[in-house]
């Protein structure tokens, strides 16, 4: 296999070199139980609390508000269900956007099956929730929690978190913000009550998520009692991985201003060039109000799985929301909710350091790949 351009940062960002270094060092010194009182344990405890302080600072939280989970998905599950549980006397209504990550929608589904109520606020063609409709939904009585992502994971569109946070504040409803796609890349918008993020999306190792619960937010884990992580997350902390996650976040945040404008310019180039060189293509998502590194487009008359396979052969790792590429055989709920073409879908998400040369090679290869697939399918 020759040169491969990795364009799937929205699935997972390659491990940051500083995270790798920190991980290797922390495996040797941070293995002991941070809850114990001997030397090695105190060392592990210190490393864990240093990492917590760093992550808290980067995300705009206080250290005692931050707990580490085993994944971003677990952070969302615990955050949604723990806040609903803590607020059960306030009501049983959950408000969420239609294009949230599946972890939010699955937690909402569980809540609904347990007798709770879920209101899903729709999105426009760009994938953005209607802030006014969201505010109206939050204002209805018995609302216990609202959930909104910072940016959509499939199309990159930024959500109106500040406006929604203001409406939530007005009505005394906690807001869970899923910052998985932007943490380390963009500042976390203010106004959250609960924050969820995932370290492997910012160049940390897999197996570390962040659940931050703002002081004063009612929260009660729905899981059996456990002493760890402020009683919010059960189980022994993975201290070396948490240390590496903090190192990656620090490094990504330090590079973010420069790197996001560089990647955003490359995304602009893709957004502009693809419709010029490929006929019958729809570039999806907001062109301006978007995550810096994500762009999605759909090619009419093209099978998404075939397209991904051909791009893989040509040396490009990209992802797709088309149904044939999903285990469920259903198209992505995001594309469905937006009402955009679901077949022939390609998501390009640029990792740190993605080069202009790689993007240009992608733009040079794509037209012929699409043309051949269409030709084979009998499309003139």
Partner 1 sequence: MTEVTQPALTIDALGKKCPIPIIMLADQINHVPLNAVVAVLADDPAAFTDVPAWCRLKSHKHVGSYELAGGGWAIHVRRNY
Residues in contact with 301: Cβ distance below 8 Å, sequence separation at least 6, in sequence order = 280, 343, 344, 374, 377, 379
Annotation says 324 is catalytic: yes
198 touching partner 1, by CB under 8 A = no
Residue 100 C-beta: closest distance to partner 1, Å: 18
Please identify which of the residues 147, 168, 299, 324 carries the catalytic annotation.
Answer: 324
CA 46 to chain CA centroid, nearest Å: 29
Among the listed ranges 178-186, 223-231, 250-258, 320-328, the one in contact with partner 1 (CB under 8 A) is: 320-328
Q: Alpha helices of 60-160 — where are they, by DSSP H?
A: 72-86, 102-113, 131-139
343 binds partner 1 per the rule CB under 8 A:
yes
302 binds partner 1 (CB under 8 A): yes
Smallest gap from residue 284 Cβ to partner 1 (A): 10
CB 296 within 8 A of CB 156: yes
If phi over 0 gives left and psi between -120 and 50 gives alpha, with beta otherwise, what is residue 353?
left
- Cα three-residue angle 186-53-241, rounded to 5 degrees: 80
What is the C-alpha to C-alpha distance for residues 88 and 163, in angstroms, rounded to an integer?
25
Is 342 a binder of partner 1 (CB under 8 A)?
yes
Nearest CA to 58 out of 190, 249, 244 is that of 249
Choice from 83, 159, 253, 322 touching partner 1 (CB under 8 A): 322
Q: Shortest CA distance to 197 belongs to which of 244, 131, 150? A: 150
Select from 78-86, 142-150, 192-200, 327-335 the region that touches partner 1 (CB under 8 A): 327-335
- How buried is residue 215: exposed, middle or buried, by Cβ count under 10 Å (0-12/13-18/19+)? exposed
What's the min distance (Å) between Cβ of 369 and partner 1? 15
Q: Does 39 bind partner 1 (CB under 8 A)?
A: no
With contacts defined by CB under 8 A, name the span among 27-35, 134-142, 161-169, 326-334 that binds partner 1: 326-334
> Judged by CB under 8 A, does residue 279 bind partner 1?
no
Q: Closest CB to partner 1 among 26 and 123?
A: 123
Q: Does 379 bind partner 1 (CB under 8 A)?
A: yes
Alpha-carbon distance 10 to 13, whole Å? 7
- Name the residue nearer to partner 1 (CB basis): 222 or 301: 301
Pick from 33, 255, 282, 360: which binds partner 1 (CB under 8 A)? 282
User: Is there binding between residue 97 and partner 1 (CB under 8 A)?
Assistant: no
**Complex with partner 1: residue 17 or 339, whichever CB lies closer:** 339
Q: How far is the CB of 298 from partner 1 (least distance, A)?
A: 8
Q: Which of 163, 85, 182, 156 is nearest to 334 (CA)?
A: 156
SS3 label, residue 96: strand
Q: What is the DSSP string of 75-90?
A: HHHHHHHHHHHHTTTT
* Cβ contacts of 358 within 8 Å, gap of 6 or more: 5, 7
Does position 120 bind partner 1 by CB under 8 A? no
- Closer to partner 1 at the Cβ: 30 or 344? 344
Q: To the nearest whole angstrom, how small is the minimum distance from the Cβ of residue 319 to partner 1?
A: 17
Closest CB 123 distance from partner 1, rounded Å: 13
Residue 344 binds partner 1 (CB under 8 A): yes
What Å distances lie between residue 41 and 33, 233, 244, CA to CA? 5, 20, 18
The nearer residue to partner 1, 71 or 332, going by C-beta atoms, is: 332
Specify the stretch interacting with partner 1 by CB under 8 A; choose among 29-37, 89-97, 267-275, 339-347. 339-347
Active-site positions read: 324
Q: Where do contacts with partner 1 occur on this chain (CB under 8 A)?
A: 280, 282, 300-303, 322-324, 329-331, 335-336, 339-344, 377-379
């Amino acid at each position: 296999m020759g040169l491969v351009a990795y364009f799937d940062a929205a699935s997972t960002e390659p491990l940051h070199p500083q995270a790798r270094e920190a991980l290797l060092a922390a495996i040797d010194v941070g293995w002991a139980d941070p809850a114990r009182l001997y030397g090695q344990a105190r060392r592990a405890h210190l490393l864990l609390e240093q990492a917590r302080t760093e992550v808290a600072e980067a995300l705009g939280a206080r250290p005692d508000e931050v707990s580490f989970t085993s994944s971003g998905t677990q952070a969302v599950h615990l955050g949604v269900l723990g806040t609903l549980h803590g607020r059960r006397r306030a009501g049983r209504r959950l408000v969420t956007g239609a294009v949230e990550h599946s972890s939010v929608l699955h937690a909402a589904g569980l809540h609904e099956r347990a007798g709770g109520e879920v209101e899903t606020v729709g999105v426009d063609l760009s994938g953005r929730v209607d802030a006014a409709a969201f505010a109206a939904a939050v204002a209805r009585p018995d609302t216990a929690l609202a959930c909104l992502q910072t940016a959509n994971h499939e199309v990159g569109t930024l959500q109106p978190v500040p406006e929604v946070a203001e409406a939530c504040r007005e009505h005394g409803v906690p807001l869970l913000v899923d910052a998985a796609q932007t943490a380390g890349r963009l500042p976390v918008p203010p106004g959250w009550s609960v924050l969820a993020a995932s370290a492997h999306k910012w160049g940390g190792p897999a197996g570390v998520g962040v659940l931050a619960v703002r002081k004063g937010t009612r929260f009660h884990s729905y899981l059996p009692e456990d002493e760890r992580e402020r009683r919010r997350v059960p189980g022994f902390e993975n201290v070396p991985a948490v240390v590496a996650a903090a190192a990656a976040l620090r490094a990504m945040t330090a590079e973010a201003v420069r790197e996001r404008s560089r990647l955003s310019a490359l995304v602009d180039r893709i957004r502009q060039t693809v419709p010029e060189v490929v006929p019958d293509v729809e570039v999806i998502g907001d062109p301006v109000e978007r995550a810096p590194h994500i762009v999605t487009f759909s090619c009419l008359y093209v099978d998404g799985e075939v397209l991904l396979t051909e791009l893989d052969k040509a040396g490009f790792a990209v992802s797709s929301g088309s149904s044939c590429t999903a285990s469920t055989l259903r198209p992505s709920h995001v594309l469905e909710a937006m009402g955009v073409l679901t077949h022939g879908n390609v998501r390009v998400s640029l990792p740190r350091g993605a080069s202009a040369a790689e993007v240009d090679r992608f733009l040079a290869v794509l037209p012929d790949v699409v043309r051949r697939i269409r030709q084979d399918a009998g499309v003139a």
